[in-house]
Structure 1
């Protein structure tokens, strides 16, 4: 049994979808990111962030790491190439690369306080936007040559990770779906029953069941 501490649409979304994908029993505990975390939650996750996944009484963090862990614990779900198989190194590479090239810049986009700013201006947001768009441009080039998924014809947890980050761009000046190959990947991912179950349970709007609006 798993317990996932999540916030709707946050970095926990990909992990939530993966839990449905592996068909693992799990409990959900909603965390309000707009209020100060309780001492009980900070004992589980000193950063006060989501996701936190409790497994056998132990708390584990970081969405990329949790996706890797779920794929390892549930090989029957075929969410990653097995050790030694073709594509295994690429799966690990993408899982880490997405967390750094998209996860880090998104943190600066949504939390200007990390830059010592009370809020973003057009001038301070612009360089972060360029970093994110450059990352999406690189991924688009890869998908054009090797798609439709990050591992070619094979779906993996990395695609959930990427689709989660793409969803975060929906209100940006250039949403990720404006790149055709990225748009194709997103439409394939949001059609999966596990993704649909997760977004429905989280009550999300936008990128819901019948499209990406």
Structure 2
């Protein structure tokens, strides 16, 4: 009705700005799992599309993921994943607010974003921390490899024997972990990494989900990135 606001339950218009196989894949998976309607907009960071003027006007940080919510832009993976989960509570993508399980979910996502992601960035973009000199970059990469191995061991021990990270229900935590499992097979990771059978099993279970296959297929149509040989994306 003219002049009245829509009910709060009315879903907003959503647009996900993502780059293939970037950390934005977690948000891409979460949206597919949620059942919410959204537009997927590719911003290929390997082609520096995130540094183009149009995208910087939309998102001055130039990062992905970014989620358009009506006329607003939300950035940072944990914020986006939480928002998606809360927008579609029936999908059970996060435990209820106020529960220990909810806190555990954020504990996981903080570990991933503040520690695991940073270790990878040290390897992929060492100049961010060590400057442009070769010796500085080499030192950052070497330490990044050590940190990555340590965090992968920690994740392996925390996963336990449950089907998913928080138990028997798939959540956005699993989508987030899936991305960084894929990254461990990136050709730029030259350091030796520990065995991670629980993490591998989790990744395989996540990869088998129809919503995950749909998100990955959409991304690989933009850039045909490789997957580990044991991660099978069936049609």
Using structure 2 for the length normalisation, give the TM-score. Answer: 0.81
> Tell me, which stretches of 5 or more residues in structure 1 are unaligned?
none
Once the two structures are superposed, the pairs formed by residues 197-208 of structure 1 within 5 Å of their partners are 197-203=214-220, 204-207=224-227
CA distance in 2, matches of 1:105, 1:143: 19
> Tell me, which stretches of 5 or more residues in structure 2 are unaligned?
1-12
Offset, 1:164? 0.5
The 3 A distance-change label for structure 1 pair 16 and 110 is same
Are the aligned partners of 1:170 and 1:176 in contact in 2 as well (CA < 8 Å)?
Answer: no
Alpha-carbon RMSD = 2.4
The 3 A distance-change label for structure 1 pair 118 and 13 is farther
Query: Does the alignment pair 1:128 with 2:144?
Result: yes
Paired residues in the alignment total 212
Offset, 1:86? 4.7
Query: Does the alignment pair 1:157 with 2:172?
Result: yes
Are the aligned partners of 2:153 and 2:194 in contact in 1 as well (CA < 8 Å)?
Answer: no
Aligned to 2:198: 181
Offset, 1:102? 1.0
Offset, 1:157? 0.3
Aligned to 2:60: 46
Deviation readout 1:44-64 (Å, 9 max, x if unpaired): 222211111100110111112
Aligned to 1:143: 159
Are the aligned partners of 2:95 and 2:102 in contact in 1 as well (CA < 8 Å)?
Answer: yes
Are the aligned partners of 1:147 and 1:153 in contact in 2 as well (CA < 8 Å)?
Answer: yes
CA distance in 2, matches of 1:31, 1:202: 11
Are the aligned partners of 1:80 and 1:157 in contact in 2 as well (CA < 8 Å)?
Answer: yes
Give the secondary structure class of the aligned counterpart of 2:35.
coil
Q: Tell me which moved more, 41-50 or 184-193.
A: 41-50
